Structure 1
Amino acid sequence: MSIQDDFKPAPPADITEAEEFAALRKRVRALLAGHVTPERLNKFDEAEEYDVELYREIGAAGLIKLDGELHGHGPKHQAQAVVLEELGAGPTSVGVSMVVQYMGVQLLHSYGNEAQQEEFLAPLHRGEAKMSFALSEPDGGTDVARAMKTRATQLADGSWSVSGQKKWIGGAMDADYLILLARTSEISRAAIDGITMFLVPRSTPGIRTEVIDTMGIRGLAQCDVYLDDVRVPEANVLGERDRGFRQVLGTLNGERLNGAAVALGIARGAMETAVGWARQRHAFGRAVGSFQGLQHSLVDASVKIESARLLLRQAAEASDAGQGTNETWSAMAKLAASDAATTTTDIGMRTMAGWGFFRGLPMQRYFRDARLYTFAPLTDEMTRNYIGEKHLGLPRSF
């Protein structure tokens, strides 16, 4: 019997949540149980390939559209968080991709006209199309508006010519279209103005992508995107000209929530793996989980997980209710979930010792993948700056 056969993760803790979201969680778990195995997760991570089939199944099951309407409101943040936590605990790379898809859904719901929603949002809802969000550039991540060099110039016929480079664009190599931001007016005192969003089919001439070799989230390619005189019709401007970056800022609360949900899922998956191992691995005649020092470490990590869960739930509820404090709570949830994920995966690696290094078991993947959320969608340091200013009322620190 192999070590994989011996290993059985601990069952997840009971989750007390509203009936609507408990039922949704049950649906997601049933879908994943029917499609995802440890071997499949390992296969896509090792091959560094995206699980397109699973993404299509998620869309076909209505888990992208959720409770949203094509020409009405978008899906609830609480519903998105449920889906993303479950994906984070298993097919993490698909979960990270879904954070981007939900961001596209929100932008198209908020700023797309009916024609754009029919062309771009409807297939996204069904899982028949996949988008990438092209914002970051080689010279700017956190301060990208000031550093943005990608330019869009309007031509005599009203169309646009876009040239420049984007960096760290998840899934751009096989996306159906990009939501792309480019500077359309000269930088002013308010650097966030003068930037416009465009809907750009990936097949448009002048777009070239190269994969960036990364240590984690290996089932979702991070890409350089090169844009050389890419022609975009005026009809593909998303939202208001020159105010695209301000419009994106309006979605960051949801992105923080969703990043927190995936990080929470990573932490939960790592905890289940570590506890399952600690129960079954024996040393000195007893289960290693019976040693007090190891128990204390696992308990401390578990407290971080449940604390992050409560913050995330409170933030998502407040966001769906339109409460003014939701952005601060979302920032706290992201920070707490990031800490829970990195702490739990570190303790998990120590719990499993040499077996944590084994690429046939999931702990090393959780350990690598968790590091993403220390700097995405915003660095933990910038998140602390935000909380210090907005929650504690301290002077701006940057």
Structure 2
Amino acid sequence: MFELNEEQRLIQKSVHEFAKKELAPKASYWDVHEEFPWDLVKKMAEIGLTGLRLPAFYGGMEADLVTTGIALEEVARFDHNCAIILCGCNITGKLLLHGSETIKNNYLPDIVKGRCILAFAAMESEAGSDIRAIKTTAKRMKNTYVVNGEKSMITFAEVAQGFVVLVKTDVKSREGISCIFVEANRPGIDIQRLQGFGWRATKWGNIALSDVQVPAENLIGEKNSALSMLKPTVQEQRALTGLIALGTAKQALGEAVEYAKNRKVFGKPLGKFEGIQFKLVEDFTQLQAARLTCFQALHLIQKNAAEASKWAAMANLIGGETAYRVVNDAMDVYGGLGYSRELPLERYLRDIKAIQIASATLKMEIGQGILGKEFLPYT
């Protein structure tokens, strides 16, 4: 049976109290004004959240994945965008461990201290689910790589100090893909801001790279081996973002339950009506089942288990789908008030949609795990 140990319970309690006090009061502000919450990132850094998965050598906590998931779930209850930021710090930041000593020393300590955020630039307008179809290239020219291409819908694009860019280093092979670190202040970079439905504080946008020159030592990992290097990173990101969605939904459900207990209709609490009570019970049950799936996925990823990829995809799929349904039902419990901006429910729903929308890719990968690679639609 899955249960938290004593240390994890203490972490859960302390992060919950921190997020409720420090993050919740301004969550709506960052969303409305579409501002990146640098002051809150620094506060999260002070208690170690920005470096949960990073090595102690650089100031990190070296926390295991389950503990990281516990922390991010609690943050997501009070500020979904801050949880996504922490995911970026710990997941994209960890990719730099495959880079040069210069890159690690220049960026990892600042990530841990909340002074730096990086963006992972993979997706393109014609390369989403089929990441091997990317067209961005990095050509070796003596001691530099020259990067050309366009990246779409990149989280933190406007505020990142650097980009981990997925590029083709062998244009003749679908597998010839590498990761290149590109500093944000290099000439030839143009960022187009995007206004999103949700995740409004994450400053996402499109990135155009035109003859951007970076040193050859900015290669992250081995040349033409990015897809294998990124496999555990993608697994962690999927399981953690599934849990982030559920953290936000957990808060919405708790608010709906309190409202149902106190709102009087026809002289009795709303929660006494079966139509409301059964909806809340079903949502609570599905939420707990989805959370267990996410924690099981994190456990398997930590063990480097063979089935980790399938469970990571399942965690992201069930996390997003369940969270969206739970928040939508919470809005129904509140009735017309739930549809208003007087409550945070509409913000919860908008933020969760960003995770829930990726379901098609996830279903393909789960299908591969169940049926085998020969059943993938692109093989």
TM-score band by shorter chain is over 0.9
In the alignment, what sits opposite 1:120?
A: 107
> Quick check: 1:152–1:160 contact (8 Å CA) kept in 2?
yes
In the alignment, what sits opposite 1:246?
A: 228
Q: TM-score, normalised by structure 2?
A: 0.92
After superposition, what is the alpha-carbon deviation per residue over 1:166-199, rounded to whole angstroms, capped at 9, x for unaligned?
Answer: 10101110111111111122132xx1x2222111
In the alignment, what sits opposite 1:316?
A: 298
Which letter does structure 2 place at the counterpart of 1:374? Answer: Q
> Quick check: 1:71–1:117 contact (8 Å CA) kept in 2?
no
Query: For 2:187 and 2:321, how far apart are their aligned partners in 1?
Result: 42
State which of 87, 98, 101 in structure 1 corresponds to 2:86. Answer: 98
> Quick check: 1:273–1:363 contact (8 Å CA) kept in 2?
no
Query: For 1:250 and 1:33, how far apart are their aligned partners in 2?
Result: 31
State which of 326, 332, 335 in structure 2 corresponds to 1:353. Answer: 335
State which of 176, 180, 204 in structure 1 corresponds to 2:165. Answer: 180
Matched, 1:55 2:41: yes
Q: TM-score, normalised by structure 1?
A: 0.88
Question: Offset of 1:262 from its aligned partner?
Answer: 0.6
In the alignment, what sits opposite 2:149?
A: 164
What RMSD, in angstroms, separates the aligned Cα atoms of the two structures?
A: 2.1
Which letter does structure 1 place at the counterpart of 2:47? Answer: A
After superposition, what is the alpha-carbon deviation per residue over 1:255-311, rounded to whole angstroms, capped at 9, x for unaligned?
Answer: 111111111112101111211221222222222122110111111111111001111
Q: Secondary structure at the match of 1:55?
A: helix
Matched, 1:144 2:131: yes
Q: Secondary structure at the match of 2:346?
A: helix
In the alignment, what sits opposite 2:361?
A: 382
More helix by share: 2
Question: Relative to 1, partners in 2 of residues 1:70 and 1:145: Cα closer, same or farther, differing over 3 Å?
Answer: farther
Instruction: Give % identity.
Output: 26
Query: For 2:191 and 2:54, how far apart are their aligned partners in 1?
Result: 32
> Quick check: 1:181–1:245 contact (8 Å CA) kept in 2?
no
State which of 177, 186, 202 in structure 2 corresponds to 1:204. Answer: 186
Query: For 1:80 and 1:323, how far apart are their aligned partners in 2?
Result: 18
Q: Which moved more, 1:240-249 or 1:261-270?
A: 240-249
Q: Secondary structure at the match of 1:324?
A: coil
Which letter does structure 1 place at the counterpart of 2:32? Answer: E
Query: For 2:256 and 2:38, how far apart are their aligned partners in 1?
Result: 29
What stretches of structure 1 of length at least 5 have no aligned partner?
1-14
Q: How many residues are paired up?
A: 374
Which letter does structure 2 place at the counterpart of 1:164? Answer: G
Question: Offset of 1:126 from its aligned partner?
Answer: 2.1
> Quick check: 1:50–1:93 contact (8 Å CA) kept in 2?
no
In the alignment, what sits opposite 1:18?
A: 5
Which letter does structure 2 place at the counterpart of 1:325? Answer: E
> Quick check: 1:70–1:122 contact (8 Å CA) kept in 2?
no
In the alignment, what sits opposite 1:3?
A: none
Which letter does structure 1 place at the counterpart of 2:148? Answer: S
